[in-house]
Amino acid sequence: MKKHRNWMLACGLLVMVSVFAASLVLLLPPQETVGTPTLQVEEIPSSSGYVIKLHDGQIAVFDAARPDTPLRLTDIPATSLRHYDRELLTVGISVATEEELLMRLEDFGS
């Protein structure tokens, strides 16, 4: 009889702790991560894809249909890149989607 009562008390305590923990998770607001860098995303519309290449010593984004006028200049200097990347960007790197564009720019900027 005493074993049964102790077992019931332990189960009840476990249920109460579980309910309390679940309520904390559900009721507390999510915490922001401090110090995590974020990529500033700005819309760069293009239906034909993009070309990433060097322009005036910096990485620039061009519309593939108009490769002479940059859509956006970045603040990533060519001098911060590896020699191999500078060679690729001298010719230009074609990307099809904005998602791929943002991933490439993030890679060059890190």
Q: Strand 58-63 vs strand 66-77: parallel, antiparallel, or unpaired?
A: antiparallel
The average pLDDT across 64-85 equals: 90
| pTM for the predicted model, two decimal places | 0.57
**Above 90 in pLDDT, residue 46?**
no
- Angstrom distance (rounded) from CA 101 to CA 78: 17
- Range scoring the smallest mean pLDDT among 29-33, 46-50, 64-68, 72-76: 29-33
Q: Taking the C-alpha atoms of 103, 106, 108 and 110 in order, what is their torsion angle to the nearest 10 degrees?
A: -140
Domain ranges of the chain: 1-31, 50-109
Output the pLDDT for position 110. Answer: 81
pLDDT in tens, 18-43: 665 555 556 656 555 444 444 444 45
